[in-house]
Chains A and B, each alone.
Chain A
Amino acid sequence: MNLEIVEIISHYHLAEFNLDFARIAPSIPFILTGLVITLKFTLISAFFGFLWGTILSLFKISSLKPLYWFGLAYTSVFRGTPLLVQLSLIYFATPQLTGYNISGFEAGVITFSLNSGAYISEVIRAGILAIDKGQTEAAMSLGVTYRPMMIDVILPQAIKNILPALVNESIALLKDSALVSTIGAQDLLRRAQIVGAEKYVYFEPLLMVAVIYYLMVMILTVSSTILENRLRRSS
């Protein structure tokens, strides 16, 4: 009796431990389509997050108190609550508040832009403050006003210095993008889960998307190192 149970268990284990990617081969194109969605999602969010983060960082170094306090409070809220909660709030609460039936993709892009904006603003703020005050003084002494001074003199230098930190932000964004699978966007992770549910095999599709995420992160890391070296040489 006992022996029988052991036999059943061990048989069961052996059968399940058998990795077989052939089983999900027909679904690989379906999963890879998710890569396009994940990338699109990351790029758009990174773009708007960067713009918003730049504006927020200027708020935070502004001498106008309302802007300063807004920047501070905004960052505090978006860094102080879980991303998944923010995502759910925007996805599920927007239709209730406005009647607009927001798609998972839209909700994701909005949440991630707003959220990464908060993190990026801190990075850019630090980058701006690290620029020698003499740069500002030189620009001012030439009669250059605030706006062109920021755009042409301060920000280009600041962004060059904080490039590694910005790449880290994009990497975080890329990985966090997997959260949109919880609100129905068909990204990499969601598609892996769908395939798993259809075929009753989870390990292969999940392992596959993990490797894809890892490769994308590596590509970002390596290209940022190359870019950094090139910038260093030019300066």
Chain B
Amino acid sequence: MSDNSDNNVAIRIDSLVKSFGSLQVLKEISTEIKRGEVVAMIGPSGSGKSTFLRCLNLLEMPTSGKIYIDGIEITNPKTDVMKMRQNVGMVFQHFHLFPHMTVLRNIMYAPMKVKQISEEKARQKASELLARVGLAEKANVYPSKLSGGQKQRVAIARALAMEPDIMLFDEPTSALDPEMVKEVLDVMKGVTESGMTMAVVTHEMGFAREVADRILFLDGGCIAEDATPDEFFTSPKSDRAKQFLEKIL
């Protein structure tokens, strides 16, 4: 099963290629994400960063290349993808809460259905998580009654309820009104403190700089720069990163 001996590596990506028809979106990306590492993926739109993230839990099927999670090659057709996904939580730009379930039910659903946890335990766990994201009083409310920021915090709690080792965030604050961005970033910061391995596609440069251990700058389907936040924001090496930072900062 395992052909990756390094125990410190949570995700290893080996020559990942993703094409949509004739359009090659990811061009032979190879990198590693260590356990407990918080990686911010930034780059211009169309650079392939979201596609890259979505390949990590196989919401997009790579065209070629290999991805290993905890040493297991998930791109192998024999690997149980559903089992892998239980360990890799994901938070989406547009939340995707289940609109016909209450907030509490949204969080309880997967642990009960997938992990066969008892209703009582799932409820207790969900309540704890809701308290952790500061929404204990919204337990029995339907998602449509929540603000964008609240929805996203519930979505984070829903992903955490499966007790994953890895969390993927796909532009978690891009669909939010500006005054709601902070509450979501604060919750994400809280998650990093628990030692979670995180990959975050984001346009929040402040967050990337403050919270991330490492920046992956993607451009044209390649990793154009792989650096610590300090290096990246103060002295970017590639011209493309320089141009990008000039435009947004």
Interfacial residues, chain A to chain B (CB-CB below 8 A): 132, 134-135, 137-145, 148, 152-153, 156-157, 160, 234-235
User: Are A141 and B100 closer than 8 Å at their CB atoms?
Assistant: no
Which of A138, A140, A153 has the most CB atoms of chain B within a 10 A radius of its CB? A138
Contact of A143 among B83, B98, B100 (CB under 8 A): B83
Q: How many residues of B contact A (CB 8 A)?
A: 26
Most buried by A among B57, B96, B114, B144: B96
- Describe A's contact surface by its main secondary structure: helix
B13 within 8 Å of A (CB atoms): no
| Measured CA separation A13–B237 after assembly (Å) | 102
Identify the B interface with A (CB < 8 A). 57, 59, 82-83, 85-86, 88-90, 92, 94, 96-100, 109-110, 113-114, 142, 144, 155, 158-159, 162
Are B96 and A132 in touch, CB under 8 angstroms? yes
With both beta carbons as reference points, the residue of chain B lying nearest to A133 in the complex is identified as B96
The answer to whether A138 touches B86, judged by C-beta atoms less than 8 angstroms apart, is: no
Min C-beta distance of A215 to chain B, whole Å = 33
Chain A hits for B85, CB < 8 A: 140-143
A130 to B: closest C-beta gap in Å: 13
* Nearest CB in chain B to that of A148: its residue: B113
By a CB distance below 8 angstroms, the chain B residues around A156 are 100
Bound CA–CA A157/B57 (angstroms): 25
- State in angstroms the CA–CA spacing of A142 and B100 once bound together: 17
Q: Which residues of B contact A141 (CB under 8 A)?
A: 57, 59, 85, 88-90, 159
| Cα separation A234 to B85 with both chains bound (whole Å) | 31
Given A137-B59, A143-B162, A235:B114 Cβ within 8 A: no
| Partner pick for B110 among A143, A160, A235, CB 8 A cutoff | A143
- Assembly CA distance A101 to B114 (angstroms): 48
**Which one of A143, A145, A152, A235 lies within 8 Å of B142 (CB-CB)?**
A235
